Amino acid sequence: MKSIVILISGRGSNLRSLVQACAAQAWPARIAAVVSNRPDAAGLEFARECGIATRIVNHREFATREAFDAALAETIASYAPDILALAGFMRILGADFVRRFAGRIVNIHPSLLPAFTGLHTHQRALQAGCKVAGATVHFVTHEVDHGPIIAQAVVPVLPDDTEETLAQRVLAREHLIYPMALAWLVRDALYIENGSVRVATGEAQWLL
C-alpha cells in the first residue's frame, strides 16, 4: 500500500477531493499526513476530523527558503511517502527539495499549462481574451509550474465571466482530475516516454 503526503496552505478543497476519492475508490494507498506551511490553514482541521496526522512547518520561522525546505523535507520524509501531492501549497520548492523527492511530487495548477504559470491565472486568461481555461495536473520539477503533464481539464470562458466565476468552474474540474491522476499514480499506471506522460492501456480516462 502506497503512502501519500499532501501539502496545503489554505482551505484544502483539493485535499477534500483526494481524501474522499481515496476512501470511496478504495485506492491501494493511505493518506499518511497533511502538512501545511501555515498554522491557520483551514484544511488542517478537516484532516484532523478524518483522523489524518497533521504537521505544521511554518515558513515564517525560518530565515531562508533553504532552511524551510530542509525542515519541510525532513518532516515529509518521516512518513516515507511514495507520493507527495501539492494541493494549494503556496510556497516555491527549491531544487534540492525537488531532487530529494524527484518523480514522486505532483501538483495541480489552475491553468492549461504551459500557459499562465504562476499566480493570477484567471485574471490573466480573461485579460488575454482566452476562449477556454482549465486546470493541469503535472509532475513537479525544479522549474515552477513546469514538468510532464499528467492530465488537463478544459472549461469555456463565458462572455460575462469574472475571475471568481471562472475560478469556481475551474475548481470543480480540479476536483475531478486530481483524484483521477492520483488513482493512476497509486496503481502504477503512469509512465514517461520522451518527456510526455502516458497512461497504461486499459485505464479509464474521463472525458473532461
CATH number at residue 161: 3.40.50.170
User: Residue 195: what pLDDT?
Assistant: 85
| Full 3-state SS string of 175-196 | HHHHHHHHHHHHCCCEEEECCE
Over residues 86-108, the pLDDT tens digits come to: 999 999 999 999 999 999 999 99
Count of structural domains, the chain: 2
The parent domain of residue 128 ranges over 110-136+151-208
User: Residue 14: what pLDDT?
Assistant: 98
> Residues 92, 94, 99, 101: is their CA dihedral positive or negative?
negative
Residue whose C-alpha is closest to residue 166's, from 86, 87, 111: 111
Burial environment of residue 24 by CB neighbours within 10 A (0 to 12, 13 to 18, 19 or more):
exposed
pLDDT at 189 exceeding the cut of 90: yes
Q: pTM of this prediction? A: 0.94
C-alpha cell at 134: 482549465
Q: Are 56 and 48 in contact (CB under 8 A)?
A: no
| Residue 171 and residue 97 in one domain | no
Give domain status of residue 145, yes or no.
no
| Residue 118 and residue 177 in one domain | yes
CB atoms within 10 A of CB 187: 14
Q: How far apart are CA 24 and CA 194, in angstroms?
A: 34
Residue tagged active-site, from 109, 122, 138, 175: 109
| Residue 117 and residue 196 in one domain | yes
- Computed over every residue of the chain, the mean pLDDT equals 95
Q: By percentage, how much of the chain surpasses pLDDT 90?
A: 93
Question: What mean pLDDT comes out for the span 176-187?
Answer: 96
pLDDT at 204 exceeding the cut of 60: no
User: Residue 202: what pLDDT?
Assistant: 62
pLDDT at 84 exceeding the cut of 50: yes
159: number of CA atoms within 13 Å, CB side? Answer: 0
User: Residue 208: what pLDDT?
Assistant: 45
User: Residue 201: what pLDDT?
Assistant: 67
Q: pLDDT class for 206, splitting at 50, 70, 90?
A: very low
User: Residue 203: what pLDDT?
Assistant: 64
For the question of residue 142 being annotated catalytic, the response is no
Give domain status of residue 189, yes or no.
yes
pLDDT higher at 138 or 207: 138
By three-state DSSP, how is residue 132 classified?
strand
Q: pLDDT class for 153, splitting at 50, 70, 90?
A: very high
